[in-house]
Amino acid sequence: MKIVFIRLNMFEHISSDAMKPILFAIIRELTPQAHEIEFLDERAESLPERIDADLIAFSVETYTAKRAYILAKRYKTPQNRIVMGGFHAAVMADEMLQYADTVLVGDAEGTWPQLLADCENGCPKRKYISDETAEPLSPAPHPEIYRHRYAGIGVHQLSRGCKFNCDFCSIKTMYRCVRQKAPETVAAELRAAKEKIIFFADDNLFYNRESALAMLRAIAPLRKKWACQISMDAAHDDALLDEMKRAGCFLVLMGFESLTPDSLREMHKSANAASDYEAVIRNIYRHGLLIYGTFVLGYDGDTKDVFQNTLDFAVRNHITITNFNPLIPMPGTPVYQRMQEQGRLLYRKWWLSDKYRYGDTAYRPRNMSPDELREGCLYMRTEFYSLRCILRRLLGNPLHLKPVNLMIYLLANIISAKEIRAKQGQLLGGLLHEADAD
């Protein structure tokens, strides 16, 4: 069979922050050599008008669902098979089946090989559902399948899934169990990788402290520089932070989410409860690590002063980069269900709407209007990445002035500022022109 596997973009513009898709490596490992497979990454290239293949597969997130449906209509022929999987399939499989011949629900490991075997035997099904499993993950070395230069950052993974269950996060809709790779497998992948800079795609690298520590010790001699996502409990762990620094870590991505206690409680962000955020930040800096902080605005505890207060906090603490996100009710999450029950959703399906634009609010916040939430988040992003603020945070944090960090700081801030301007207000995916678009 000839297979084309596509990673989608939210919009029709080429991203300047696209990283190597780890999913391509996983799919390559799961696809028997007898098949011809090509990977297209819409975040890094324009897609062709037509694709000549037996099977065209899309990995779909809620943000890219409309794009997937538009492209499915463009590429569908009587001879080919359109396949969709990914996070959106975990909660919206029936919606997808209006546009796809087959939908894969759950892990690719539990569905993709079976689909290919059934296609070979002439009996593909409409829906495949992966069994929940905590089986160890297989190695996924990055083969030479990439047509693009991805800014020299390798993407790897020790575990998949998360031990927490935050109210707004869709991770539990896809992965109920956490799956892990053997630490030495990850070390072998990194040893074979030509990139000197690595991003760990784990939602929390320290799901299992012992195996993460074993991996840190195995990768330390490789002298790679790397970044990862951690939860706030790890930020109190001095022994762990020491090992991370020794193993080459230069930046941690951490969800602060909110400074408002009521909002934090509503989010069920248990790892953040009772943490003194400023002490946490000081401790991470003390270990020589930079911070990428993420925030969610618009929970019911937030009033209109939340924007300025949160911005002041991020600037006062000289955080390296941030993401200020308006709360988006993702289908399948507790917050989506709550908003639906309370009649507060502004669209029947915001991800399919031909009116909803990136950065818009999709529900009625309690203490402000939807427009105030959108404008408040845009104000924070614009201010944080203004030249004046970039310089203030640079000069206010001695860590940013170290030679390698300086380059990282400037690049990360310039790319973030550019991406905000490119994305804000863009229509998701293009026009679907369907009856189900509100």
The pair phi, psi for residue 109, each rounded to 5°, is -60, -35
What are the tokens at 171?
């991770």
Nearer to ligand SF4, 92 or 232 (CB): 232
Burial class (CB in 10 A: 0-12, 13-18, 19+), 33: exposed
Q: Residue 203 Cβ, how far from ligand SF4 at the closest point, in Å?
A: 4
Nearer to ligand SF4, 231 or 405 (CB): 231
| Secondary structure E strands in 246-286 | 249-257
Distance CA 23, CA 30 (A): 11
The per-residue b/e assignment along 128-156, b for 16 or more CB within 10 angstroms, e otherwise, is bebeeeeeebeebebeeeeeeebeebbbb
Q: Residue 82 Cβ, how far from ligand SF4 at the closest point, in Å?
A: 30
Binding site for ligand SF4 (CB under 6 A): 162, 164-166, 169, 171, 203-204, 231, 255
Nearer to ligand SF4, 76 or 172 (CB): 172
Q: Residue 132 Cβ, how far from ligand SF4 at the closest point, in Å?
A: 17
Q: Residue 172 Cβ, how far from ligand SF4 at the closest point, in Å?
A: 7
DSSP-derived letter for residue 189 is: H
Distance CA 378, CA 274 (A): 29
In contact, 215 and 158? CB cutoff 8 Å: yes
Enumerate residues 6+ apart whose C-beta is below 8 A from 402: none
Q: Residue 165 Cβ, how far from ligand SF4 at the closest point, in Å?
A: 6
Q: Residue 19 Cβ, how far from ligand SF4 at the closest point, in Å?
A: 17
Identify the three-state secondary structure at position 114: helix
429: enclosing H helix or E strand = none
Nearer to ligand SF4, 296 or 321 (CB): 296
Nearer to ligand SF4, 165 or 340 (CB): 165
Count of CB atoms situated within 10 Å of the CB of 303: 13
Nearer to ligand SF4, 162 or 289 (CB): 162
Distance CA 333, CA 21 (A): 25
DSSP-derived letter for residue 402 is: S
What are the beta bridge partners of residue 293? 254, 322
Instruction: Report which of 23, 328, 323, 61 is spatially closest to residue 201, judged by C-alpha positions.
Output: 23
Identify the three-state secondary structure at position 42: coil
Q: Residue 402 Cβ, how far from ligand SF4 at the closest point, in Å?
A: 29
Enumerate residues 6+ apart whose C-beta is below 8 A from 385: 413, 416, 417, 420
Nearer to ligand SF4, 112 or 207 (CB): 207
Q: Residue 22 Cβ, how far from ligand SF4 at the closest point, in Å?
A: 16
Nearer to ligand SF4, 105 or 267 (CB): 267
Q: Residue 358 Cβ, how far from ligand SF4 at the closest point, in Å?
A: 20
Nearer to ligand SF4, 4 or 377 (CB): 377
Tell me the CA distances in angstroms from 59 to 28, 131, 356, 431, one per residue in order: 14, 19, 21, 20
Nearer to ligand SF4, 4 or 90 (CB): 90
Q: Residue 261 Cβ, how far from ligand SF4 at the closest point, in Å?
A: 17
